[in-house]
């Protein structure tokens, strides 16, 4: 697959770390940087916990790296996010349309710079084309209802009933997805899977689902677009229940700086 303003990660294996990480490494926002000259934007207000040193990810924009327990704000991502974490988490990207959190222990045991399990928050997500093109799926809108309806129609996916949720002041719909045995509409590096979501150019990503992972997508309404949460766990690292439980306090702490 062609990259989308990205820098592929050395040693990424879709069989070992699963399809979403492979698509993530091939097509994420890693090299997008800050459009205002590539320098991290100044934080609008200081977090309550000490700000760690410079972002360890050279393509991570204004990320904070390893986080002490405490409350933080994104520096570049819009709408600005206020969030709180316990010990053990790392902020690996803070870009205009991409924000990532990983467990430090997951990163430490991987052969790639990013672990396989993560929370990603992205703006104005579209459904990715399931015919393996790096493009949006034609005819699918980007409202929460449109996206949920599309994913429930994709062959080879097990998709839960949608749940109405409110996160950080934004309302939307939540679904859980898994790949059925033998499912998948594409094969990348001999690993089958299905593309799921793609960015709009401010958010830069092209993520999918493989057979060794679970994905929770939360589509939140924001104006004519959306803010999307992607909670992906690789099962050899964490069960879905374990990883989602670990993330829930962070999800509960989220606040989006949006006009009321």
pLDDT 10s digits, 207-227: 999 999 999 999 999 999 999
Mean pLDDT of the chain: 81
Reduce the DSSP state of residue 113 to 3 states and report it.
Answer: coil
Show me where the domains of the chain are located: 14-256
- CA-nearest of 188, 172, 189, 128 to 154 is 128
Chain CA centroid to CA 94, Å: 12
Give the SS3 label for residue 205: coil
pLDDT in tens, 72-115: 999 999 999 999 999 999 999 999 999 999 999 987 655 444 56
The residue whose two tokens read 């859980």 is 176
Percent of the chain with pLDDT over 90: 68
Contacts (Cβ under 8 Å, ≥6 apart) of 203: 29, 96, 97, 98, 122, 123, 124, 125
The pLDDT value given to residue 127: 98
């Amino acid at each position: 697959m062609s990259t989308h303003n990205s820098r592929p990660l050395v040693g990424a294996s879709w069989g070992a770390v699963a399809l979403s990480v492979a698509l993530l490494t091939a097509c994420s926002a890693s090299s997008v940087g800050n459009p205002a000259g590539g320098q991290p934007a100044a934080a609008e207000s200081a977090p309550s916990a000490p700000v760690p040193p410079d972002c360890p990810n050279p393509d991570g924009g204004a990320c904070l790296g390893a986080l002490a327990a405490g409350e933080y704000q994104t520096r570049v991502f819009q709408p600005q996010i206020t969030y709180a974490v316990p010990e053990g988490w790392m902020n690996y990207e803070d870009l205009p349309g991409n924000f990532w959190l990983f467990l430090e222990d997951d990163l430490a045991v991987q052969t790639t710079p990013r672990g396989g399990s993560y929370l990603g928050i992205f703006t104005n997500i579209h459904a990715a084309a399931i015919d393996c093109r790096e493009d949006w799926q034609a005819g699918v809108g980007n409202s929460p209802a449109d996206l949920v309806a599309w994913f429930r129609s994709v062959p080879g996916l097990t998709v839960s009933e949608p749940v109405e949720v409110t996160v950080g002041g934004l309302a939307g719909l939540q679904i859980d997805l898994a790949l059925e045995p033998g499912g998948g509409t594409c094969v990348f590096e001999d690993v089958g899977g299905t593309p799921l979501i793609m960015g709009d150019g401010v958010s830069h990503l092209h993520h999918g689902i493989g057979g060794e992972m679970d994905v929770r997508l939360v589509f939140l309404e924001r104006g004519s677009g959306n803010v999307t949460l992607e909670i992906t766990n690789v099962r050899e690292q964490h069960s879905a229940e374990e990883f989602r439980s670990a993330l829930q306090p962070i999800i509960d702490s989220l606040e989006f700086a949006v006009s009321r």
